[in-house]
Each structure stands twice: as structure tokens, then as C-alpha cells.
Chain A
């Protein structure tokens, strides 16, 4: 039983990794002087007319900009400093996404254009959530069936042991 708990805990921590996102995907295009973000539901259409809050680097909870996505799920803002800009997208019925985009010094010096699909807090690393949806689905199904098999084997083992004890 204890082994099972340790296994599940490790699994959860391992999957969770750095930063969790929630049902909405945001892709950024940086085109000086603006950063353009396209919001879409995972495996579905654009996040229309959602509320968007933008927080500048090091400004804490004070909003830099408050706005919304258009019917195509797009919004833009004009950063005034380099650093990590926090973006919160909320569609008003439970779907919410907190993410970040890194704006470099070069962005302000030249006309930088960069596609940043699924950027993970500006680290540039490709995270688990950047894997194709079908691959994640297969991975999840494997885990669920794996856990079911493990529990089944433990139960059967217990039944066999109790049968042997009685004999």
C-alpha cells in the first residue's frame, strides 16, 4: 500500500513539473513594438471575448493592461520594459490560463519577430504540454490502465495470500 502511495505521489510530482496551465493555450508572436497573443481552447476553437490581464515584470499585482480577446481569440499589448510579462486569460466560465512571455532588450532595439508557440514562462524549453494532444491522451490512458492493472494485481495477490493462510 505504501509503495502504491509513493508511486502515485512521484507520478503526480513528475507530471506536474514547472507551472501548470488550464484548458487554454496561448501562442505569442513578438513584433516590435507589440506582443500579439492568440488564445485557443485545447483541441478546440478560439477563446472569444475573454478577459486578459497583463502584468509587467516586477510590478507585482498591479495590472499593466486590462483588456480582452477579439472573436478570433487574439489580443495585443505594447511592453515598455524587458523581462517576463505575466498574462492571465479568463473566459468567464471556468477556463483560465496564466502564462508568461519574455521580452528581451533586443526587442526594443530592432524589429524582432519571433513565433513562440506554447512558450513556458519564457524559458524556451519544450514542456510536456507542448506534446501533441494525441500523444498526451495515449500517455494518460496508459497510466490509467497501468494503475488499474497494478491495483488488480495487488487485490488478487491479497486474495491468494488470504486463501493460502486459511489452507
Chain B
């Protein structure tokens, strides 16, 4: 699916979420120059084409009791990454899993997964279990727990405007994490 200017405008208009009014798509349409029905049809098409992977309520996972977040990375042969990634993805507690480009010599790891849990001990135990269950023990690994969150908001795919986003001044508060778009 090739996206046109209106698709990009629509995605940009939705970065802050649907407005809390009875006809939210009409209001979004007014902002981007589309009719309500066109907004709805375009969103359906983007969803069906997989450009939008899901459309709905985005929660802040910290506020739901998920306080510990670890990024776990392994250095596995590229050709084995997909099979291992599928194994990891099937496990509970794995919320994201993907292969990224390495950045040798500083960063040898290519298989990434994200684990959310109630507390650090629980997440550490889960990491040991999934490492064993997926046959990952032989590969070089790093575990990176998150600490302070300096900023978290919806992705911005449009070009910058002169108005700059303010950094998150609530960075020390551990209760505002949300799910965002995957990079």
C-alpha cells in the first residue's frame, strides 16, 4: 500500500489520540481536510494493509502494575534469529521481539525482546526461564532494566514544526509508562 499525503496527515493528526467527543472522526477530518467517512475508510484500509498494527486504547503499562521492564538481547547467528524469535514470541511476558542491526564493535547483539512484569525479581526469573526454554543459554546475552524515564509519548513521523516538544518533567515518576510504537 502506497500512502498519500492525506494518509500521512491523518496519522499525524492521530498522534495525540482521538478527541473525546461523540464524533471523533469528524473532528479529525476537519483538521486534515477529509470527510468523516473518508477518515473512517482510510483508517480501515491502513489497518487492513497492516500499516496500522492495532487501533484502540493505548494504556500506560506502569499504571496497570507493570513496574519492571527489561530489554534482553542476544547475539545469535542471523539465520537462526527468526526461529528463536518465534519461540520467544510465544511466551507470556514477552511483549515485543525483533531482530535489529548490530553495531560492532560496541554492540554485538541482534535479537531483542522486551519483558514487562510486576517487579525486578519476577522479571529476572522469567528471563532465566525463557533463556532455558528457548535454548538461548549458549549465546552471549545482556539484560538492561529500565530506570528513569525521561520521555514517553506517541511517535512523530511528520517533519518538525518550530514548536518544540517539552521534555517529560515527570521523568522521576515511575507510573506514567505507556506502550508506544515499535521503532
Are A and B associated in one complex? no
Residues of chain B whose beta carbon lies under 8 Å from any beta carbon of chain A: none
